[in-house]
Amino acid sequence: MAFTLNLNNLLTVLVGIVLFSFGVAVGMIAWSSLLNLPKIKGKQEKIIKWLNISIAIIAIVYGIYLLLGGEGINLIAFLA
């Protein structure tokens, strides 16, 4: 996988993995915090439904954009 991204430096690959892992952890913490806010416990199901729909629509639109030849986001390229 590193060869297809043109990453030949081990340090760059490791930094990319660390940044990705950190982003995943922050995302999971944010998601669980959002779902457990005491003020929205009663509306939790409605919020989860609309949040999931919104995320799905964004993902589908971005996927279609990439399939139609759009340029993707490569955050690792900024490190090199």
**Tens-digit pLDDT profile for residues 57-76:** 998 998 888 888 888 777 67
**What pLDDT, on a 0 to 100 scale, did the predictor assign at position 2?**
45
Residue 51 placed within a domain:
yes
**Cα–Cα distance for residue pair 66/44, rounded to 1 Å:** 33
Residue 2 located in a structural domain: no
Residue 67 lies in a domain: yes
Residue 45 domain-assigned? yes
Within a domain: 14: yes
| Domain count for the chain | 1
pTM over 0.75: no
Does residue 5 lie in a domain region? Answer: no
1 found inside a domain = no
- Which residues fall within 8 angstroms of residue 80, CB to CB, at 6 or more apart? 7, 9, 12
